[in-house]
């Protein structure tokens, strides 16, 4: 899922697991707001994991981070 970094919307997901992937060198969407949102969600006690990617851009992250994110979300659901 792709989404905008929106604090109010993020608060609405409650304890739903959220895995955020963002490339530091993203040429389309700025990196900073995603990192700030992950930090904010963590401070609120939400179930969030943030994976910053190095040396890739918006369209070149490959499949591996998506698999990692999917695996993490499944682990979170199984733990509930």
Domain spans of the chain, in order of start: 17-79
Higher pLDDT, 5 or 69: 69
Structure confidence by residue, pLDDT tens digits, 18-28: 999 999 999 99
Element (H, E) at 74: helix 64-79
**Which pLDDT score, from 0 to 100, does residue 80 have?**
83
Quick one: CA dihedral 28, 63, 52, 38, positive or negative?
positive
Structure confidence by residue, pLDDT tens digits, 37-74: 999 999 999 999 999 999 998 888 889 999 999 999 99
Q: What is the pTM of this model?
A: 0.84
- What CA–CA distance (Å, rounded) separates 47 from 4? 18
The total of other beta-carbon atoms located within 10 Å of residue 15's CB is 10
């Amino acid at each position: 899922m792709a989404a905008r970094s929106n604090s109010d919307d993020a608060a609405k997901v409650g304890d739903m697991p959220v895995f955020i992937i963002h490339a530091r060198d993203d040429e389309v969407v700025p990196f900073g707001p995603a990192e700030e949102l992950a930090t904010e969600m963590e401070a609120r006690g939400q179930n969030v994991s943030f994976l910053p990617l190095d040396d890739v851009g918006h369209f070149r992250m490959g499949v591996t981070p998506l698999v990692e994110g999917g695996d993490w979300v499944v682990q979170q659901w199984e733990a509930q």
